[in-house]
Chain A
C-alpha cells in the first residue's frame, strides 16, 4: 500500500509549490505586511518543519542504499532545523539573527547531499538528471539564502529564495521512476 517513489516526489512537489507561492507573496508585499497576522508569519516555517518530519518516513521506507539513506536523513534534519529556527525567530524565542543561517545551511547540505549521493552521470536517466539539477539548485539557493540572511529586506534575495523553492517544486513534479532524459536512458537504468 506504499505509494510509488515518484508519487512521493509529487506530494513533496505540492508542499514546495505552496511554500514557494507563500514566499513569493511575502517578497512582493514585504515582510512587515506579511507578518501583520501571526498565523501567516508561522505558515511557511511550519510547512518547512512538517516537510522535514515527513522526510523521515521517506528515509525509512524508500532508501535502498546507505548513502541514499544518509542523504534523506540529512534533508530531514536540516529542513526541521531551518523550520524550527524560523518558528523560533517569528515567535521571538530566538533573538540572535545568526539563526537565519540555518536556512542557507539547509540548502547547502541538501544540495551537497543530492550531488554526493547521485553516483551516475547527468544523462543516465531522468532521476539522475534531476538529482544533479536539484543539487546545483540547492547550492545556488544556499548562496541566495545567505544573501537573504545578510540583507533580510532585499526584494531581490527574497524573490530569489521564493523562485528557488518553486524550481525545486518543478523538478520534483518532473520525477518519474524510470524515464529517459532528452532521449537518453542508460540500459543499466532500464533502457534498451
Chain B
C-alpha cells in the first residue's frame, strides 16, 4: 500500500515538473513584455498617451513599447497555451 502511494506521488511529481522547454516557451512572452515595460520606463516620451494633446492620430495609435507588450501578450495568450499542451503530450509519450 505504502509502495503504491509512493509510486503515485512520484508519478504526480513527474507530471507537475516542467521540462526546460516548457519553462522556456512560457517565459518568452513575459520576458518580451518586460522588455517593453522597461523601454516605456526608460523612454517615457514614447508613451504619447501621457501627453495626448501634443500628438496626432498615428503617434497616439502606434506607441512602440506598448506594441511590444501587445505582441508579447498575443503570443503568450494565443500561441503558447496549445503549444504547451502538445509539448506535454509529446514529452509524456517519450517517457
Contacts and interface: CB of A to CB of B under 8 A. Distances in A.
Contact of B75 (A1, A7, A18, A37): A18
Interface in A33-48: 33-34, 36-37, 40, 43
Contact of A40 (B64, B70, B79): B79
Give the secondary structure class of B's interface: helix
B86 A37 contact: yes
A62 interface: no
Interface of A: 1, 3-4, 7, 10-11, 13-14, 17-18, 21-22, 24-25, 28-29, 32-34, 36-37, 40, 43, 173
Given A13-B64, A21-B28, A4 B87 contact: no
Contact of A29 (B21, B32, B59, B74): B21
A43 B71 contact: no
B29 A7 contact: no
Chain B's interface size range is 20 to 34
B92 to A, nearest CB: 12
B71 to A, nearest CB: 5
B14 to A, nearest CB: 19
Contacts of A28: 21, 24-25
Given A4-B58, A7-B58, A14 B87 contact: no
B21 A14 contact: no
B84 to A, nearest CB: 9
